């Protein structure tokens, strides 16, 4: 147990409180099920007194989820503690997490209480919570800015009153690793009953140090880390669960510690949170960003082809991804292009590397990223006719709005002949792609859809990039327009034409993309 770091997930409480719109009970249950699958030790499911919806979420999660501790938050106020006790009661293992501000600024300005008054509140609240629940956690809010003498007294009294976990939050993300490690050392050295509780940390990311502060705290003896998936949370967020867990795993040589997390579930959990919370993740986000396992530079790609460990400290599979990604760009070397061609099923005798690499470089200079279908087109096209699009969108009319069924009519030129079709859909984009499908006759499923503004103002241009799969493989399509439905339809047409080319060349691309 001494070597295990407990992972206390607060995505549904600290993470959720920072969202633009709150999650429904059903959405919270879906997330809680996935957190249990991920293997977290505790789920902080909400703040029961704050709203009937939050109460219901905590109580439903407590009813259904087995395995992790189900915890609710409560201020050191009787009605909060009693509501929390009722909400977590159905849990196999319930916990009340009660907190009060302890820093000078919180005591004077927010609470208007003296240190002695705060100490009395802590003692009576922890005792009250213990009368209703065997597992109580106490947090000294803003501990990072609390005087160390007072913090030691608070921690000692909270433990003596029955708290089994003491949480030391850096509420405003103000501390630094060295300073925070010093606080944990002081507590271990000066609080006489410290061995009766688990020391937990809860770091915010205002200065970008939440993960570093949490990891330093565990090196100094903390054994619970409070964190959120993708690092979502108040302001700049909380320490990211995936970063803490993977740092402990990858640097076992340094920490000598472990967690109970099934790291292969990390990506699935991250994607669920993005989707339900409408919170995208920056591409270069550690562990879960879309570029976290992509290699772009020619030198790196060459190194990885020779030995993965040259530029990979963990495998993509260890976080639940299928494989790393090599982006083919003008920086990619000929070794990388040759490897990709062989992966695509070509044999060395089918190409002269020097010629194909020159064509590749010209295309990469024009296009940026060269996808698998571009490489196949480079290899297969015999005349400029092979590069022409088989399908051309001539006309698109979409009607959608509140209270109407989205409907689209598309007219497409197919090998010079005009065809027209209409379709309804779940939204404007869905209706447009269904109308296109009816003319084209391909079976395509969209894996991802991404919209970005590429110019500013009311007439801004939007660029849609889509990833879709068909029996010929996985394709990326891009479309640009001031109208986002049109941009989406153009991205879809881009994919349709790539599929048409693969059919013509009688080629298939790998189904995992590239
Ligand atoms: O950041 C914080 O201090 C908190 C406490 C309620 C634990 O979220
Ligand atoms: Zn917090």
Closest ligand, as measured to the CA of 171:
1
For the segment 17-54, what is each residue's pLDDT rounded down to a tens digit? 999 888 999 999 999 999 999 999 999 999 999 999 99
Phi/psi-derived region of residue 237, left when phi > 0, alpha when psi is between -120 and 50, beta in every other case: left
What confidence score (pLDDT) does residue 383 get? 84
CATH code for the domain in which residue 397 is found? 3.30.160.270
Of 277, 282, 280, the closest CA to residue 19 belongs to: 277
**Residue of higher predicted confidence among 245 and 386:** 245
38 with 103, same domain: the answer is: yes
Angle at which helices 52-64 and 78-88 cross, to 10° = 40
Q: How does DSSP assign 39-79, residue by residue? A: T-SEEEEE-GGG-HHHHHHHHHHHHH--SSEEEEEEESSHH
Task: Answer with the one of 370, 405, 423 that is the final residue of a domain.
Answer: 370
271 with 318, same domain: the answer is: no
168 pLDDT higher than 60: yes
Q: What is the pTM of this model?
A: 0.86
What confidence score (pLDDT) does residue 461 get? 84
Please give the number of the atom of ligand 1 that sits closest to the Cα of 73. Answer: 6
For the segment 449-505, what is each residue's pLDDT rounded down to a tens digit? 988 887 777 677 889 999 999 999 989 999 999 999 999 999 999 999 999 999 999
Of 266, 275, 274, 271, the closest CA to residue 320 belongs to: 266
For ligand 2, the distance from its centroid to the CA atom of residue 3, given in whole angstroms, is: 25
The verdict on residue 393 lying in a domain is yes
Q: How many CB atoms lie within 10 A of CB 490?
A: 21
Q: Domain of residue 298: give its range.
A: 294-370
Q: Is the CB of 205 under 6 A from ligand 1?
A: no
Q: How confident is the model at residue 512 (pLDDT cuts 50, 70, 90)?
A: low
The verdict on residue 41 lying in a domain is yes
For ligand 2, the distance from its centroid to the CA atom of residue 204, given in whole angstroms, is: 6
CATH code for the domain in which residue 189 is found? 3.20.20.70
432 pLDDT higher than 80: yes
187 with 262, same domain: the answer is: yes
For 197, residues 6+ apart whose C-beta sits below 8 A from its C-beta are 155, 158, 159, 163, 164, 165, 166
272 with 353, same domain: the answer is: no
For ligand 1, the distance from its centroid to the CA atom of residue 391, given in whole angstroms, is: 56
The verdict on residue 289 lying in a domain is no
Closest ligand, as measured to the CA of 73:
1
Q: How many domains does the chain have?
A: 3
328 with 424, same domain: the answer is: no
Q: How confident is the model at residue 385 (pLDDT cuts 50, 70, 90)?
A: confident
Please give the number of the atom of ligand 1 that sits closest to the Cα of 99. Answer: 6
359 pLDDT higher than 60: yes
The verdict on residue 230 lying in a domain is yes
DSSP classification of residue 265? G
211 with 327, same domain: the answer is: no
For ligand 2, the distance from its centroid to the CA atom of residue 202, given in whole angstroms, is: 6
What confidence score (pLDDT) does residue 458 get? 67
Four-point Cα dihedral 426, 430, 432, 435, nearest 10: -80
Q: How far is CA 514 from CA 271, 324, 375, in A?
A: 20, 9, 11
Task: Answer with the one of 339, 370, 401 that is the final residue of a domain.
Answer: 370
The verdict on residue 288 lying in a domain is no
Q: Which of 9, 14, 16, 137 to mutate to test the pocket of ligand 1 (most atoms within 8 A of CB)?
A: 14
Please give the number of the atom of ligand 1 that sits closest to the Cα of 139. Answer: 7
Four-point Cα dihedral 156, 158, 164, 168, nearest 10: -80
For ligand 1, the distance from its centroid to the CA atom of residue 54, given in whole angstroms, is: 17
For the segment 98-114, what is each residue's pLDDT rounded down to a tens digit? 999 999 999 999 999 99
177 with 265, same domain: the answer is: yes
Task: Answer with the one of 221, 247, 277 that is the final residue of a domain.
Answer: 277
Separation of alpha carbons 150 and 140, rounded Å: 10
Separation of alpha carbons 81 and 119, rounded Å: 17
334 pLDDT higher than 90: yes
Q: Is the CB of 14 under 6 A from ligand 1?
A: yes
Strands (E), 154-193: 165-170
Q: Is the CB of 171 under 6 A from ligand 1?
A: yes
298 with 270, same domain: the answer is: no
Separation of alpha carbons 364 and 108, rounded Å: 62
Q: How many CB atoms lie within 10 A of CB 409?
A: 16
Q: How confident is the model at residue 186 (pLDDT cuts 50, 70, 90)?
A: very high
CB environment 151-183: b (16+ within 10 A), e (fewer): bbbbbbbbbebbbbbbbbbbbbbbbebeebbeb
Q: How confident is the model at residue 83 (pLDDT cuts 50, 70, 90)?
A: very high
418 pLDDT higher than 50: yes
Separation of alpha carbons 487 and 464, rounded Å: 6
> In this structure, what token pair is assigned to residue 69?
């501790």
The verdict on residue 287 lying in a domain is no
For the segment 272-314, what is each residue's pLDDT rounded down to a tens digit? 999 899 898 998 999 999 899 999 899 999 999 999 999 999 9
Of 472, 403, 470, the closest CA to residue 433 belongs to: 470
153 with 256, same domain: the answer is: yes
Say if CB 199 and CB 223 are below 8 A apart.
yes
95 with 234, same domain: the answer is: yes
Say if CB 213 and CB 239 are below 8 A apart.
yes
Q: What is the rounded average pLDDT for all residues in the chain?
A: 94
**Residue of higher predicted confidence among 456 and 349:** 349
414 pLDDT higher than 50: yes
216 with 312, same domain: the answer is: no
Q: Which of 166, 172, 202 to mutate to test the pocket of ligand 1 (most atoms within 8 A of CB)?
A: 202
Q: What is the mean pLDDT of residues 247-266?
A: 98
For ligand 2, the distance from its centroid to the CA atom of residue 47, given in whole angstroms, is: 12
**Residue of higher predicted confidence among 360 and 514:** 360
Q: What is the mean pLDDT of residues 405-417?
A: 95
> In this structure, what token pair is assigned to residue 238?
């909380």
Q: Is the CB of 34 under 6 A from ligand 1?
A: no
For ligand 2, the distance from its centroid to the CA atom of residue 137, given in whole angstroms, is: 14
The verdict on residue 513 lying in a domain is no
Of 412, 471, 406, 400, the closest CA to residue 437 belongs to: 412
Q: How confident is the model at residue 514 (pLDDT cuts 50, 70, 90)?
A: very low
Q: Is the CB of 138 under 6 A from ligand 1?
A: no
For the segment 129-142, what is each residue's pLDDT rounded down to a tens digit? 999 999 999 999 99
What confidence score (pLDDT) does residue 20 get? 86
For ligand 1, the distance from its centroid to the CA atom of residue 246, given in whole angstroms, is: 23
10 with 148, same domain: the answer is: yes
The verdict on residue 343 lying in a domain is yes
Q: What percent of the chain clears pLDDT 90, i.e. is strictly above it?
A: 86
């Amino acid at each position: 147990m001494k070597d295990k770091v407990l992972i206390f997930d607060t995505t549904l409480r600290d993470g959720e409180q920072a969202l633009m719109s709150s999650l429904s009970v059903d959405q919270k249950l879906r997330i809680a099920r996935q957190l249990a699958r991920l293997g977290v030790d505790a789920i902080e499911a909400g703040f029961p007194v704050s709203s009937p919806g939050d109460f219901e979420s905590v109580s439903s999660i407590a009813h259904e989820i087995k395995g992790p501790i189900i915890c609710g938050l409560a201020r050191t106020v009787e009605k909060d503690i009693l509501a929390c006790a009722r909400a977590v009661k159905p849990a196999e293992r319930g916990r009340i997490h009660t907190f009060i501000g302890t820093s000078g600024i919180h005591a004077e300005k927010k609470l208007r209480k003296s240190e002695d008054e705060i100490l009395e509140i802590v003692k009576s609240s922890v005792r009250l919570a213990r009368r209703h629940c065997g597992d109580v956690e106490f947090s000294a809010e803003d501990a990072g800015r609390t005087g160390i003498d007072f913090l030691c007294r608070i921690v000692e009294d909270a433990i003596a009153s029955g708290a089994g976990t003491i949480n030391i939050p850096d509420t405003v993300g103000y501390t630094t690793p060295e300073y925070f490690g010093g606080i944990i050392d002081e507590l271990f050295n000066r609080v006489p009953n410290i061995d009766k509780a688990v020391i937990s940390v809860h770091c915010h990311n205002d200065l970008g140090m939440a993960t570093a502060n949490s990891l330093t705290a565990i090196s100094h003896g903390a054994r619970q880390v409070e964190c959120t998936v993708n690092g979502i949370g108040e302001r700049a967020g909380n320490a990211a669960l995936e970063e803490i867990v993977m740092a402990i795993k990858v640097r076992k040589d340094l920490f000598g510690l472990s967690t109970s997390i099934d790291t292969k579930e990390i990506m699935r959990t991250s994607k669920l949170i993005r989707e339900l919370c409408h919170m995208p993740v920056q591409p270069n986000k550690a562990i879960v960003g879309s570029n976290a396992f992509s290699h772009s530079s020619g030198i790196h790609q060459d190194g990885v082809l020779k030995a993965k460990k040259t530029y990979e400290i963990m495998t993509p599979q260890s976080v639940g991804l299928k494989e790393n990604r090599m982006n083919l760009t003008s920086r990619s070397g000929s070794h990388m292009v040759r490897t990709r061609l062989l992966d695509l099923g070509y044999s060395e005798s089918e190409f002269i590397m020097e010629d194909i690499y020159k064509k590749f470089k010209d295309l990469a200079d024009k296009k940026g990223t060269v996808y698998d279908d571009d490489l196949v087109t480079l290899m297969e096209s015999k005349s400029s006719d092979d590069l022409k699009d088989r399908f051309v969108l001539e006309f698109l009319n979409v009607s959608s709005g509140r209270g109407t069924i989205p409907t689209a009519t598309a007219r497409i030129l197919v090998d010079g002949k005009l065809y027209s079709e209409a379709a309804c859909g779940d939204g404007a984009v869905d209706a447009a792609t269904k109308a296109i499908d009816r003319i084209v006759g391909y079976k395509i499923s969209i894996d991802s859809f991404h919209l970005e503004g590429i110019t500013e103002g009311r007439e801004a241009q939007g660029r849609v990039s889509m990833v879709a799969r068909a029996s010929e493989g996985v394709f990326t399509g891009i479309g640009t327009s001031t109208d986002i439905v049109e941009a989406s339809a153009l991205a879809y047409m881009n994919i349709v034409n790539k599929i048409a080319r693969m059919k013509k060349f009688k080629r298939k691309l790998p189904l995992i993309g590239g």
